[in-house]
């Protein structure tokens, strides 16, 4: 095995193709995941989809072989979004789902994400059970005659469109004939998103639609990677620009002026739009600790509630269920709408944003201007052994007068700013994120953290 990292966490498995993630590793992980599902169901039925990376089919085939070897019945969707796989678990009455994806990571990476029967990633203790089965490999293969047939289902784009359009004002959106630019980054999002946008009657300019997995730019939907989208919105006189990541669970937004609104605004705008509806009850939302406090301001405006979870979709979803939140998500552009499911879903964000534009009939920039704005700076450093243990004592020595939240790394809060330092779940890095009234104040917070930790 290469020294290249194989990441195992609450977010699943992620590695470098041909180095830490090989067909052998994928098959072994498939066997372990299959045995975990068999602790709950005698013959599990599992839905498997993949993003468009060239390595996806290879990893999918190896993983499915591992699952089949221990007696799991697999239904493949082939190229599919992460929220689409979650949706099809329920539609096909399956016991769980798998997405072969490395999300926003570059092409040399791939990964395997596990979803439970409810469409949510396993809880931390369940994720650890899967990791233990993988590391302490002791497969219990079934007899040849007991190996179930693997089947294929191609209905996802239609199903995904139908479930979203049933929950938004489709007729109003159609009447507005909104012009949209969409960058699908040659990822998995295009087939399902085009089905939705066609049904909503938008005028679509589509960048990088074909799901080839050959990313035309760095696939993370951040400002520096979306200059072409911003230019296209302005050139075509579009009302809005959308950018998806490769598995289409994250969404970034560009306004009608070609200005990058960004990932943090995806959740904030969706919360604003839903909280404005009279029938939105209770006005409760959930976000992780690294998400902008814009939603705190929005919740306060509508006399709503905001709750904070540890970073990770499963953590957000769990707290949303506990608090009966009507909407939630993460500041990386991940919007979770329980009406559709407890998984981040870029198509949900697109549907809600189009409904918002149709209802308000004003430019996106004017709507954005109603939300109190902050600067947010996200930094990262390579993590070293033992570094995680130094976060809390170092930051307490530097910021002894502030409010501390230690459920995921350390978040330090003041009235109008915060800083969050935590190890990543998906990469061998330490993340440092700060939000404040201006960028200089963010940098000051991050620099103070770095100095306190000796970075």
Question: What is the distance of C-alpha 175 from the center of its chain?
Answer: 31
Q: What angle do CA 29, 347, 187 make, to 5 degrees?
A: 55
Instruction: Tell me which residue of 9, 17, 5 sits closest to 56, measured CA to CA.
Output: 17
Instruction: Tell me which residue of 48, 81, 49 sits closest to 348, measured CA to CA.
Output: 81
103 is catalytic: yes
Surface-to-core class of residue 400, CB atoms within 10 Å of its CB (0-12 exposed, 13-18 middle, 19+ buried)? exposed
Question: What is the distance of C-alpha 399 from the center of its chain?
Answer: 31
Instruction: Tell me which residue of 243, 152, 266 sits closest to 193, measured CA to CA.
Output: 243
Collect all residues with Cβ–Cβ distance below 8 Å to 349 and sequence separation of at least 6. 242, 251, 253, 266, 270, 333, 335
How many C-beta atoms lie closer than 10 Å to residue 335's C-beta? 29
Say if CB 378 and CB 431 are below 8 A apart. yes
> Active site residue: 9, 103, 292, 394, which one?
103
Q: What angle do CA 115, 116, 122 make, to 5 degrees?
A: 75
Intra-chain end-to-end CA distance of the chain, in Å:
30
Q: Which residues pair with 284 in a beta bridge?
A: 305
Q: Which residues pair with 14 in a beta bridge?
A: 7, 111
Cite the active site residues. 103
């Amino acid at each position: 095995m290469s020294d290249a990292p194989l990441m195992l966490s609450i977010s699943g498995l992620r590695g470098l193709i041909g180095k830490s993630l090989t067909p052998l590793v994928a098959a072994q992980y498939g066997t372990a995941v299959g045995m975990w599902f068999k602790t709950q169901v005698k013959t599990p039925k599992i839905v498997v989809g993949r993003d468009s990376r060239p390595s996806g089919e290879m990893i999918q085939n190896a993983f499915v072989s591992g699952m089949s070897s221990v007696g799991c019945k697999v239904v493949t969707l082939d190229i599919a979004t992460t929220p689409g796989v979650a949706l099809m678990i329920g539609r096909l009455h399956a016991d769980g789902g798998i997405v072969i994806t490395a999300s926003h990571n570059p092409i040399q990476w791939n990964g395997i994400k596990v979803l439970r029967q409810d469409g949510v990633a396993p809880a931390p203790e369940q994720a650890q059970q899967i990791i233990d089965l993988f590391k302490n490999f002791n497969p219990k293969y079934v007899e040849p005659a007991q190996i179930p047939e693997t089947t294929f289902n191609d209905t996802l784009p239609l199903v995904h469109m139908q479930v979203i359009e049933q929950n938004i004002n489709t007729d109003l959106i159609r009447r507005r004939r909104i012009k949209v630019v969409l960058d699908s980054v040659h990822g998995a999002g295009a087939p399902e998103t085009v089905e939705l946008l066609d049904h909503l009657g938008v005028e679509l300019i589509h960048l990088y639609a074909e799901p080839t997995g050959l990313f035309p730019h760095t696939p993370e939907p951040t400002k520096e990677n979306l200059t072409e989208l911003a230019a296209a919105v302005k050139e075509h006189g579009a009302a809005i620009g959308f950018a998806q990541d490769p598995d289409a669970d994250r969404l970034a937004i560009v306004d009608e002026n070609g200005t990058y609104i960004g990932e943090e605004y995806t959740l904030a705008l969706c919360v604003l739009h839903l909280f404005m509806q009279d029938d939105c009850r209770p006005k409760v939302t959930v976000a992780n600790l690294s998400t902008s406090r814009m939603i705190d301001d929005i919740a306060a405006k509508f006399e709503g509630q905001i709750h904070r979870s540890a970073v990770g979709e499963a953590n957000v979803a769990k707290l949303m269920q506990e608090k009966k939140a009507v909407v939630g998500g993460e500041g990386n552009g991940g919007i979770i709408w329980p009406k559709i499911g407890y998984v981040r879903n870029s198509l949900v964000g697109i549907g809600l944003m189009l409904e918002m534009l149709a209802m308000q009939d004003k430019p996106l920039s004017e709507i954005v201007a109603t939300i109190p704005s902050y600067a947010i700076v996200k930094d990262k450093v390579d993590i070293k052994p033992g570094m995680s243990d130094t976060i809390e004592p170092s930051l307490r020595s530097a910021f002894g007068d502030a409010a501390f939240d230690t459920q995921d790394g350390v978040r330090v809060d003041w009235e109008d700013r915060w800083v969050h330092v935590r190890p990543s779940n998906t990469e061998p890095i330490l993340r440092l994120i700060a939000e404040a009234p201006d960028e200089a104040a963010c940098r000051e917070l991050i620099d103070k953290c770095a100095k306190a930790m000796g970075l």
